[in-house]
């Protein structure tokens, strides 16, 4: 079958239409890529902003933790250590040896004591915190229960427990008191024992 001039013009028209549609498709694809690129760029910027905010937050928390650690160290150094022996002597517990930062490690476990105050017949294990919680009290009770196991040289003494903190709620004070622990707290520039005269300490 012979190809006429009309057939040729029809083919050219279809090619032109097809080319026009292809160009439109290319422009649409380019537009979509551009929009997606802008969206990706926006998301990258948002992610970077959040990352920088998180980084600043971590630095701030680290700085605050460092300040808190310094405050706790100062509390121990300037209030707890100088006063603790005299406080218990005033309560009729004639301790005279003071051992800070006691750490024991054995095959079956370990033990860390912030302050250990002793004499020939008694030992007081003192846990020091910036802010005392009931969980801290429970953990100290566990520590007291393991004391003679990990430090057998004190097996024949009467062990007592005490907690000291810069910040204590009345609920936590009552909780520790009820568990037979002495509670030490700052009062101005000094340290005091909060337990009243009716208090009867627990022994381990």
pLDDT in tens, 16-45: 677 777 777 777 777 777 777 777 667 767
* pLDDT tens sequence across 68-93: 445 655 666 557 777 888 999 999 99
Query: What is the residue range of 62's domain?
Result: 1-204
Name which of 130, 126, 128, 132 is nearest 144 in CA terms.
126
Instruction: Tell me the CA distances in angstroms from 124 to 158, 175, 178, one per residue in order.
Output: 9, 19, 17
Check whether 64 has a pLDDT greater than 90.
no
What's the domain count of the chain? 1
Predicted local confidence at residue 123, as pLDDT: 96
Q: What is the pTM of this model?
A: 0.64
The CATH number that applies at residue 159 is 3.40.1350.10
In the chain, pLDDT over 70 holds for what percent of residues? Answer: 78
């Amino acid at each position: 079958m012979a190809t006429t001039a009309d057939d040729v013009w029809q083919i050219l028209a279809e090619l032109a239409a097809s080319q026009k549609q292809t160009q439109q498709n290319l422009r649409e694809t380019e537009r979509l890529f551009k929009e997606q690129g802008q969206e990706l760029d926006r998301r990258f910027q948002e992610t970077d902003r959040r990352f920088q905010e998180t980084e600043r937050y971590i630095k701030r928390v680290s700085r605050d933790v460092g300040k808190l650690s310094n405050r706790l160290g100062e509390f121990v150094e300037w209030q707890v250590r100088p006063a603790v022996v005299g406080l218990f002597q005033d309560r009729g517990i004639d301790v005279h040896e003071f051992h800070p930062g006691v750490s024991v490690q054995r095959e079956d476990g370990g033990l860390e004591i912030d302050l250990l105050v002793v004499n020939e017949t008694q030992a007081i294990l003192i846990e020091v915190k910036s802010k005392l919680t009931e969980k801290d009290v429970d953990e100290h009770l566990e520590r007291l229960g393991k004391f003679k196991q990990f430090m057998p040289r004190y097996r024949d003494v009467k062990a007592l427990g005490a907690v000291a903190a810069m910040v204590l709620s009345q609920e936590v004070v009552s909780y520790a008191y009820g568990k037979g622990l002495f509670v030490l707290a700052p009062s101005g520039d000094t340290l005091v024992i909060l337990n009243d005269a009716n208090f009867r300490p627990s022994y381990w």
